[in-house]
Amino acid sequence: MADLEHAEFLYELWDANWDDGPLGNYRILSHPITKKTAKRIYFAYCTGRTGFVDRQRIEADGEVYHGYTMRRLHLAPPEIPGRPKKPSLPELRKAMADAHPDRGGSDGAFIAARRQYEAAKAQQPAPSPPPA
pLDDT level of residue 60 (50, 70, 90 thresholds): very high
> What span, in angstroms and rounded, lies between the C-alpha atoms of 50 and 63?
18
> Tens digit of pLDDT for each residue in 79-131?
887 766 788 889 999 999 999 999 888 899 899 999 988 988 888 877 777 77
Does 52 share its domain with 93? no
Cα–Cα dist 53/44, whole Å: 11
Residue 128: inside a domain, yes or no? no
Longest dimension (CA), the chain: 80
Query: Backbone dihedral region of 69: left (phi > 0), alpha (psi from -120 to 50 degrees) or beta?
Result: alpha
**What does the alpha-carbon distance between residue 126 and residue 109 come to, in Å, rounded to a whole number?**
28
Q: Is residue 99 part of a domain?
A: yes
Looking at residue 45, its pLDDT comes to 86
Judged by DSSP in three states, 95 sits in helix
- Domain-embedded: residue 81: no
**1-45, pLDDT tens digit by residue?**
454 555 589 999 887 765 655 556 788 889 999 999 999 999 998
Domain's final residue, options 74, 97, 112? 74
**Is 18 a domain residue?**
yes
CB neighbours (10 Å) of residue 92?
Answer: 19
Distance between CA atoms of 2 and 9, rounded to whole angstroms? Answer: 13
Q: Which of 75, 31, 27, 28 is CA-nearest to residue 49? A: 31
Question: What pTM did the predictor assign?
Answer: 0.55
Range(s) of the domain holding residue 99: 89-123
CB 75 within 8 A of CB 60: no
What is the pLDDT at residue 131? 72
